[in-house]
């Protein structure tokens, strides 16, 4: 008994000492951050002054002043970041990919797929620049200070759980010995135990999702971790406002998922007619972010029957079809007090969110035989209430809710990520994408010299997408 008491006291003392060390480390981090930010700010203030005053001065040409200021900035940045590394201030970039495939047109949002040769170029870049890949468990231990990472750590993650992660990304990861995490939405896992053969089913390459066979093989390799992307990954109505009607030529995966909830892994094989022409499309948002609006099934049925009676596809070739459907909705509202459904209560929302987060974690953990500990928020939508449910009630160690740079002392329950992919400048340009990826990694790790070019690149991307948006 006395021995256990002594051990308990020693354990408490070790914990307090560790906490004290982490507190001192956080203080040093804050001091070095202040030195870096204020120092670089001062240098650039001097640059502005030199540019304003020095132009036209014969003994100090303006371009010499510019070179001196830039050189001083680089030197100060290198020195402060070197001190931060010695103090344990290592920031861990966590990259977010989705699909890796030669062509992928079925992904719900265009532009989120990377060709295999481009992904291989990314892995070569990481290797050449000295990055080492790690798991999310290692990153969380780094944030808490329990096991700080050294060198240039990096985490590769994939969202959604597409089968092409196994077909194309996994072989490339094995070639480079790189680790990765795949966030899987539990409702989309194919209930197939065997590994499927692409040669026997060509449709698997363009839209299918992982099955248990592929998931277990990747987990057993030791390179891949499977974590949760919730279950439904849905977009639900958030207001009693109809913004459109489902019709030929319109693609809406979320309507298909809700119409056939047990066929989500093969939703793309459903014909538009199966979803129901005329089905109302409400103003939507992330299914988990807050209480949703629940439309009455009767209004949906009435609209679809009206379209079917008008000829189905041919109904939408008539002039004024939208006004006709709007009148059907107005008549329904007049019959039902101006409403087409009802909103969830706060209690219903909390129960639904808790059930989805817990259910996803349990199903995935059972399927892979290992505890699932991390959650990537679908559509990157989250708030404080969701975070509290995920960590305090659903039992996740951390989620992708971080708004920091993944360094010791940051909130260990939130991990920050940065998008990675192809067409970061708005169009496919591999050399430009690689440079911008390198710039984003350096910027995330604290090299703020890349801020201006990264900012300008993001503006160029926005301009290109606005002038010539990609086909969805």
pLDDT tens sequence across 133-191: 999 999 999 988 888 898 999 999 999 999 999 999 999 999 999 999 999 999 999 98
Pick 410 or 413 by higher pLDDT: 413
Reduced 3-state DSSP string for the chain: CHHHHHHHHHHHHHHHHHHHHHHHHHHHHHHHHHHHHHHHHHHHHHHHHHHHHHCCCCCCCHHHHHHHHHHHHHHHHHHHHHHHHHHCCCCCCEEEECEECCCCCCCCCCCCEECHHHHHHHHHHHHHCCEEECCHHHHHHHHHCCCCCCCEEEEEEEEECECHHHHHHHHHHHHHCCCEEEEECHHHCECCCCCCCCCCCHHHHCCCECEHHHHHHHHHCCCEEEEECCCCCCEEEEEEEEEEECCCCCCCHHHHHHHCHHHHHHHHHCCHHHHCCCCEEEEEEECCCCCCEEECHHHHHHHHHHHHHCCHHHHHHCCCHHHHHHHHHHHHHHHCCCCCEEECCHHHHHHHHHHHHHHHHHHHHHHHCCCCCEECCHHHCCCHHHHHHHHHHCCCCEECCCCCCCCCCCCCCECCCEECCCCCCCCCCHHHHHHHHHHHHHHHCCCHHHHHHHHHHHHHHHHHHHHCCCCC
- 18 pLDDT more than 80: no
- 197 pLDDT more than 80: no
pTM attached to this predicted model: 0.81
CB neighbours (10 Å) of residue 268? 17
Q: Quick one: pLDDT at residue 89?
A: 72
Out of 10-24, 105-119, 207-221, 428-442, which region has the weakest mean confidence (pLDDT)?
Answer: 10-24
Q: Quick one: pLDDT at residue 172?
A: 97
Q: How far apart are CA 268 and CA 254, in angstroms?
A: 11
Q: Quick one: pLDDT at residue 11?
A: 45
Q: Quick one: pLDDT at residue 237?
A: 96
β-bridge mates for residue 267, sequence order: none
The first and second tokens of residue 372, run together, are 């699932």
Least Cα distance to 278 among 303, 311, 250 occurs for 303
Q: How would residue 3 be classed by pLDDT, with cut points 50, 70 and 90?
A: very low
Residues 428, 422 contacting (CB under 8 angstroms): yes
Q: How far apart are CA 145 and CA 192, in angstroms?
A: 40
Pick 231 or 84 by higher pLDDT: 231
pLDDT tens per residue across span 241-300: 999 999 998 888 899 999 999 999 988 888 888 999 999 999 999 999 999 999 999 999
Instruction: Characterise 245 by phi-psi region: left (phi > 0), alpha (psi -120 to 50), beta (else).
Output: beta
Residues 277, 286 contacting (CB under 8 angstroms): no
Residues 87, 32 contacting (CB under 8 angstroms): yes
Q: Where are the domains of the chain?
A: 22-87, 94-232+373-422, 236-286+297-339
CA dihedral (296, 377, 391, 415) in degrees, to 10, reads -160
Q: Quick one: pLDDT at residue 122?
A: 95
Least Cα distance to 420 among 179, 6, 126, 211 occurs for 126
Q: How far apart are CA 37 and CA 35, in angstroms?
A: 6
Q: How far apart are CA 91 and CA 75, in angstroms?
A: 20
Q: How would residue 83 be classed by pLDDT, with cut points 50, 70 and 90?
A: low
Q: How far apart are CA 469 and CA 472, in angstroms?
A: 9
Class of domain 94-232+373-422 (CATH, top level): alpha beta
Q: Quick one: pLDDT at residue 293?
A: 97
pLDDT tens per residue across span 311-321: 999 999 999 99
Q: How far apart are CA 348 and CA 342, in angstroms?
A: 12
Q: Quick one: pLDDT at residue 437?
A: 87
Q: How far apart are CA 139 and CA 131, in angstroms?
A: 14
């Amino acid at each position: 008994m006395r021995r256990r008491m002594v051990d308990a006291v020693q354990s408490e003392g070790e914990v307090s000492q560790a906490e004290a060390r982490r507190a001192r480390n956080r203080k040093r981090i804050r001091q070095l951050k202040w030195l870096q930010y204020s120092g670089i700010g001062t240098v650039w203030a001097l640059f502005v002054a030199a540019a304003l005053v020095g132009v036209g001065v014969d003994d100090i040409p303006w371009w010499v002043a510019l070179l001196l200021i830039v050189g001083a900035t680089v030197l100060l940045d290198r020195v402060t970041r070197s001190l931060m590394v010695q103090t344990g201030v290592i920031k861990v970039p966590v990259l977010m990919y989705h699909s890796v495939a030669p062509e992928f047109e079925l992904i719900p949002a265009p532009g989120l797929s990377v060709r295999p040769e481009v992904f291989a170029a990314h892995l070569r870049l990481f290797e050449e620049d000295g990055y080492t890949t790690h798991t999310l468990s290692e990153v969380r231990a780094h944030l808490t200070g329990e096991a700080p990472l050294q060198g240039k750590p990096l985490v590769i993650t994939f969202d959604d759980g597409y089968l092409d992660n196994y077909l194309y990304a996994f072989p490339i990861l094995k070639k480079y010995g790189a680790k990765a995490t795949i966030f899987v939405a539990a409702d989309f896992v194919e209930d197939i135990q065997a590994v499927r053969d692409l040669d026997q089913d060509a449709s698997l390459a363009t839209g299918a999702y992982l099955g248990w066979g592929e998931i277990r093989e990747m987990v057993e390799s030791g390179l891949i971790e499977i974590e949760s992307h919730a279950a439904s990954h849905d977009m639900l109505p958030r207001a009693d406002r109809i913004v459109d009607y489902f019709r030929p030529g319109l693609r809406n995966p979320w309507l298909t998922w809700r119409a056939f909830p047990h066929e989500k892994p093969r939703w793309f094989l459903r014909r538009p007619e199966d979803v129901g022409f005329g089905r109302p499309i409400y103003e939507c948002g992330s299914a988990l972010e807050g209480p949703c609006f629940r439309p009455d099934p009767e209004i949906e049925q009435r609209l679809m029957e009206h379209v079917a009676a008008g000829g189905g596809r041919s109904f939408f070739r008539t002039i004024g079809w939208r006004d006709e459907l709007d009148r059907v909705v107005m008549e329904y509202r007049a019959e039902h007090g101006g409403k087409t459904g009802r909103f969830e209560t706060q209690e219903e929302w909390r129960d639904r969110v808790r059930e989805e987060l817990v259910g996803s974690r349990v199903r995935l953990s059972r399927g892979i035989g290992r505890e699932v500990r991390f959650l990537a928020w679908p559509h990157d939508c989250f708030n404080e209430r969701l975070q509290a449910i995920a960590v305090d009630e659903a039992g996740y160690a951390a989620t992708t809710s971080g708004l920091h740079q993944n360094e010791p002392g940051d909130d260990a329950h939130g991990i920050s990520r940065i998008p990675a992919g192809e067409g970061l400048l708005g169009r496919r340009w591999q050399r430009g994408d690689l440079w911008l990826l390198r710039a984003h990694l350096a910027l995330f790790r604290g090299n703020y010299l890349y801020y201006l070019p990264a900012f300008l690149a993001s503006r160029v991307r926005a301009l290109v997408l606005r002038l010539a948006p990609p086909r969805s």
